[in-house]
Structure 1
Amino acid sequence: MTDRLDAWVDWFRQSSPFIHAHRGRTFVISVGGEALSEGTAAALVHDLALLNGLGIRLVLVPGARPQVEERLNARGAAIRYANGLRVTDAEALDAVVDAVGSVRLAIEALFSMGLANSPMAGLRLQVASGNFVTARPLGVRAGVDHLHTGEVRRIDTAAVRQRLDDGAVVLMSPLGVSPTGEQFNLYAEDVAVAAARGLQADKLLFLHEGEGLMNADGTPLGELTLDEARERFEAAPADAGPLHAQVNRAIAACRGGVPRVHLLPRQRDGALLGELFSRDGVGTLIMPQAFERLRAAGIDDISGILALIAPLEADGTLVRRTRERLETEIDDFTVMDREGTVVACAALHRIDGTSAAEIACLVVHPDYRDGHRGRQLLARLERDALAAGCDRLFVLTTRTAHWFREQGFAPTATESLPAERRAFYNLGRGSKVLVKALV
């Protein structure tokens, strides 16, 4: 029982930076009608209620494709496609209106459940829906009139923000009305993109069907920059599959100013929570710039650095540093930032009166030591040292001498240290001294 409690407490503490980071943010979430047709919607709504309770402003855009197809099949009709786009006639539009209405009511009912002994116990969540989407006809494409199939003209962002300010979860359906009062069948994913762009949402999350994106070696594809996504997927044919289409929608969202787009497997229970409250997530993140970045440290990073180095100070690998000392040395530090969390750090200390510098406190979080982050940090410090006019780098270490030797450092005598640094050498620690010439 103690082990389980310790694991739970550890997870909860690790999730706290994400809880703080997400509070007050606006997330747009797109999910297909399959979530309702397969009976998994209750678990999803429970997770959405939890996000709302943590202060996240939610816009939910549910699709209704299975529900529409069910109604059309019952009538012996079908939505026709031309060049990969829907053609919605009057009969199909009736089925769409009926299906979208039923999905909306089903979701509202799930948000209204407050049964004891359930995740919704005691909750009174407001769900706001309305005429938020103005649409226009798709028109004639390649000689085909798409009739009641439309595209988003605009989102009434002021009305949506007002509902979000009131604490409601906003429900936005894939139906739009034109200024002339005509109804149009829309792609839910396109409504989600338009809403995220119009609201300047912090995140757009697509809960997709089937497996997610994979690397060539069969491992999950965790992240893509906008340029990488364009290179790999934008030129894919229109029939490449729904997940590729969502990647292209993610590209459009990023171009429109949405900083983070997430592709998550809808069938994986808790995918939303796993993506939002863990460092590595469970899906694919698409963003304009790299997920991780090396940057100069600032005062706000001190707590993150202290948490990173504390275990190594405790076992004697590192010399203990107080918060006050870090405050005076913070300008010497470089950190690797992963979505606001410090996962690696290192310091470059100039040695006064010499052309040498010392590398100190190079630490990578245990969860991220399988990559090349240590090498990336070291390469950054070497470039900084060269730019500052240094021609030698020293490092003092008790346990990582072999790693530094692999990076081009060579053992040297303590006497090789500049006099100023040698004066502070701790004989009790017995650190090995290594040096690297910069060229």
Structure 2
Amino acid sequence: MNISSENYVRFFRQSSPYMHAHRGRTFVIMLPGEALEDTNFPNIIHDIALLSSLGVRLVLVHGARPQISRRLELQKIEASFHNDSRITDKSSLAAVIDANGSMRVRMEAQLSMGLINSPMHGSRIRVVSGNFVTARPLGVVDGVDFQNTGEVRRVDRKAISQQLDDGHLVLLSSLGYSPTGEVFNLSAEDVATRTAIALKAEKLILFGNSIGLQDEDGELIRTMRPREARSRLQSKQHQEFHRLLEAAVTACDSSIVRTHIVSHCIDGALLQELFTRDGFGTLITQDMAAYEQLRPATIEDVGGILKLIQPLEEKGVLVRRSRKQLEREINTFTVLVRDGMIVGCAALCSYPKDGCGELACLVIHPEYRQGKRGDVLLSAIEQQARQQKLKSLFVLTTRTAHWFIERGFAASPLKTLPSEKQEAYNRPRNSKVFKKVL
């Protein structure tokens, strides 16, 4: 990927708030067995090394589904599943242990690289593995005995936290051990989710084959609430997506604020998801207010609003506002903030004697005009107007007449405006007047 020096500097500066936010935080990352066989796997390791160098406390959980299946096939042992969970009998347990051990060694080797002129040079990552996960048998489900397939019983939070405090990266396999010395085959999603919950991690990151969750039109769903994810579990989903969604919902229900689903096939997907405002996957979060928030503007927002409206002022779409004017009028503005950036604004200028208000400076950032954010801001302004007992809203526009007509505004003569607004009307600009009864 070739980028200009200017774009590189801009990206680096824009990512700096995320570097500060992530430092010292605990992330649990789940890598399925498919990811370990993908040609992009070395790049994922490089990106994980970068996170470590930035001070992120990391727990990696790896799976081994395809590796186990291949070993069973070579040994001519038939693989058995029920409800997408492997039935692990005594004859297949050896293959499970062998596959997990092989994958663990491979990951440790990749994380130990330090070749000059490689992204891993100087990383010096210390990897720790161990019996941190206690498991119990899954038992008999729907009359099916899962034998040595298990589920997480307990995660040794104290021991893992101590390793993270010492600067180690903790690597967990999809294996668990019982107090009686038995070994159980676990799902990587279960291990990752339960570990994130036990550690009260800031993020659970789940790698999958696709870029993220998609809507009915095939468009990427960038953010989703747990209840939306839960409803999708009721519909028919690909097995992998069902596992990832189930893990994300479980994590969010247990106070993990943010769970990310990203692709292990796309180079840089992890970094783009964590260090850009829009991400590069699907974020499932309870904390939508922190991610995208509608609120009254404050004096600190003046710079962000100016940056948002300046391109439209230069095109003549908006009337120019100086910083001083904006500072005086800031209490009339409402802003839509996405992860710290102002992506939309609108103002309500009230004329209480005339029982009306002006909707002014309704602007959405060009990159965020597909999510009906304009409607959200319009609805907020209408609500404010009703609270002030105003009977109608009017707007002056030169370019967006149809947008307002589609939302219940009707053309209105200039003489219907408040007298002081009529006096201030810019006749050379020749703005059209539209009015909406509330």
TM-score bucket of the superposed structures, by smaller chain: 0.7 to 0.9
String of CA shifts for 1:343-367, please: whole Å, max 9, x gaps: 1111223346553333232211111
- 1:70-117 Cα offsets, whole Å, 9 max, x none, are 333343334433454322233422222222222222212211211111
Q: Which residue of 2 aligns with 1:175?
A: 175
Displacement after TM superposition at 1:177 (Å):
1.5
Q: How does 1:243-392 map to 2 (within 5 A)?
A: 243-288=241-286, 292-298=292-298, 301-315=301-315, 317-322=318-323, 329-351=329-351, 354-392=354-392
Cross-structure match for 2:119: 119
Q: Secondary structure at the match of 1:30?
A: strand
Residue aligning to 2:105: 105
1:49 matched residue in structure 2: 49
Q: Distance in 2 between matches of 1:390 and 1:119?
A: 61
- 1:267-299 per-residue CA deviation (whole Å, 9 max, x = no partner) reads 122221222233333323333475644333445
Say which SS state the counterpart of residue 4 (structure 2) adopts: helix
Q: Is the 8 A contact 2:393 2:436 kept in 1?
A: yes
Task: Describe the shift of the 1:215–1:329 C-alpha distance in structure 2 as closer, same or farther (beyond 3 A).
Answer: same
Q: Report deviation, 1:61.
A: 0.8
1:311 Cα deviation (Å)? 3.1
Q: Does residue 28 of structure 2 align to residue 28 of structure 1?
A: yes
Q: Distance in 2 between matches of 1:262 and 1:3?
A: 26
Distance 1:199 1:350, change over 3 A: farther
Change (3 A) 1:220 1:113: same
Name the aligned partner's letter for residue 263 of structure 2: P
How far did 1:17 drift?
4.2
Q: CA deviation at 1:37?
A: 2.9
**In the alignment, which residue of structure 1 is the partner of 2:192?**
192
Distance 1:56 1:326 in 2: 40
Per the alignment, in what secondary structure is the counterpart of residue 46 of structure 1?
A: helix
Change (3 A) 1:221 1:437: closer
The residue identity in structure 1 corresponding to 2:192 is A
CA contact (8 A) 1:88 1:149 kept: yes
Runs (4+) of structure 1 moved beyond 6 Å?
A: none
Name which of structure 1's ranges 129-138 and 303-312 shifts more when overlaid on structure 2. 303-312
Question: Are the equivalent residues in 2 in contact too, given 1:394–1:433 (CA < 8 A)?
Answer: no
Q: CA deviation at 1:45?
A: 0.5
Residues 342, 179 of structure 1: alpha-carbon distance in 2 compared, 3 angstrom cutoff: farther
May I ask how many residue pairs the two structures share in their alignment?
Answer: 433
Is the 1:133–1:176 Cα contact (8 Å) retained in structure 2?
yes
- TM-score, reference length from structure 1: 0.86
| SS of residue in 1 equivalent to 2:284 | strand
The Cα RMSD (Å) is: 3.1
Cα distance in 1, alignment partners of residues 164 and 410 from structure 2: 56
Q: Secondary structure at the match of 1:93?
A: helix
Distance in 2 (CA, whole Å) between partners of 1:349 and 1:157 is: 55
- The share of aligned pairs that are identical, in percent, is 48
Give the partner amino acid of 1:150: G
Alignment partner of 1:147 is 2:147: yes
Counterpart of 1:265, as a letter, is S
Counterparts of 2:400 and 2:313 in 1: how far apart (Å)? 14
| Shift, 1:432, TM fit | 2.6
Residue 233 of structure 1: how far off its partner (Å)? 2.3
Residues 234, 248 of structure 1: 8 Å contact kept = no
Give the secondary-structure state (helix, strand or coil) at the position aligned to 1:272: helix
AA aligned to 1:287 is T
SS in 1 for 2:349: strand
- 8 Å contact from structure 1 (residues 226, 289) kept in 2: no
Equivalences for residues 67-82 of structure 1 within 5 A = 67-82=67-82
Alignment of 1:404-415 (within 5 A): 404-407=404-407, 408-413=409-414
Q: State the shift of 1:385 in Å.
A: 0.6
Contact in 1 for aligned 2:211/2:281 (Cα 8 Å): no
Aligned twin of 1:416: 417
Shift of 1:135: 1.1
- Normalization by structure 2: what TM-score? 0.86
Q: Structure 1: which 5+ residue stretches go unaligned?
A: none
After TM superposition, give the deviation of residue 339 of structure 1 in Å.
3.5
Alpha-carbon displacement from aligned partner over 1:373-431 (angstroms, at most 9, x marks no partner): 22221122012111111123343455545544554153543783343x567x3759846
Change (3 A) 1:158 1:341: farther
- Which residue is equivalent to 2:216? 216
2:435 match = 436
- CA displacement, residues 172-223 of structure 1 (integer Å, 9 cap, x when unaligned): 2211122333221111111111122222223222211357543323333434
